[in-house]
Amino acid sequence: MELEVLRAFQAVAGGETVTDVAGDARMTQPALSRALARLEQEVGAQLLHRVGRVLRPTPAGQVFKQHVDSLLDSYDRGRRAVAEMVDPDAGTVSLAFLHTLGTWLVPRLLNGFRQTYPQARFELQQAGENGLSACLLDATADLIITSKDPGHPLITWRRLLVEPLWLAVPARHRLARRRRVRLAEVPGEQFIVLKPGYGLRSITENLCHQAGFAPHIGFEGEEVETLRGLVAAGLGVSLIPSPPDVALQGNLPIRYLEMTDVRASRDIGIAWLTSRTLPPAPQRFIDHALEVSG
């Protein structure tokens, strides 16, 4: 059983077409079909069946794919570990992070790290708060950067910084000319928030409760940039981090106001699996992130 055949099965069972997989593997489609048939003979069960014009995994194929995924991931990690022993300065960091951090913090950390380790590579992925812990637990990321301690017994988390949150209001809002407000001044406003399950959603609800009211939810989104756009359109207010150019907000359709009656901020930290011995590159990145953010 060849690794190339297992990778082809993994791709087809994951939803790719035989034509595309054959092209990527530089094989003819009939040759790939024969290889998959031989794999089924070795396993002793039908792994794929045709649904319309595509192949889909059978129940046996779904079970087998779970083990193939684990095997190939272990093999790839083994190759990576050996490569980093030979040339530790050219390792790979697999990093998952919040969407909101992709516009400022993550680029800053990557740029500083690459200045010291220019040959280092990064595999990046973005996710919501709930999905980040899963990236560690299912081994799709070495490290995560998240807005709170996941509180999971298998995960170690270290704070990098505290990020202020602001009350974002439309430029023509009644409070837009002010720099500071009390959150308790906006109980009747329509709030624009992230969907349940996102860390910023729970922070917003908690801060509003501290200010003495429950927020009236007008719109829910999945990304902070969506919230900014809805605020700019005059559809409500939102508790969000400020963009890097907040100092230049005079010409923007949004005003970011400091809140004086609540501690409006969120912790940003880096996390990894406690039991896992990380390769040199991810461990160096942790050290770098803690040093420059401290």
CB 171 within 8 A of CB 165: no
Task: Name the CATH superfamily housing domain 166-263.
Answer: Periplasmic binding protein-like II (3.40.190.10)
Identify the pLDDT of residue 248: 47
- Asked if the domains 3-84 and 88-162+267-293 are classified in one and the same CATH topology, the answer is no
Identify the pLDDT of residue 88: 62
Selected from 3.40.190.10, 3.30.830.10, 3.10.20.30, 3.40.50.300, the CATH number assigned to the domain covering 88-162+267-293 reads 3.40.190.10
Identify the pLDDT of residue 99: 81
Has this prediction a pTM greater than 0.85?
Answer: no
Low-confidence ranges of the chain (pLDDT < 50): 247-248
52 Cβ contact partners less than 8 Å away, ≥ 6 residues apart = none
pLDDT digits (tens, 9 = 90+) for 67-91: 888 888 888 777 777 766 666 666 8
CB 219 within 8 A of CB 235: yes
Identify residue 115 by its one-letter amino acid code.
Q
Identify the pLDDT of residue 78: 78
CB 215 within 8 A of CB 190: no
CA 162 to CA 165: how far, in whole Å? 10
Identify the pLDDT of residue 86: 60
Task: Kindly report the CATH class assigned to 3-84.
Answer: mainly alpha
Domain ranges of the chain: 3-84, 88-162+267-293, 166-263
Identify the pLDDT of residue 85: 63
Instruction: Compute the mean pLDDT over every residue in the chain, rounded to the nearest whole number.
Output: 88
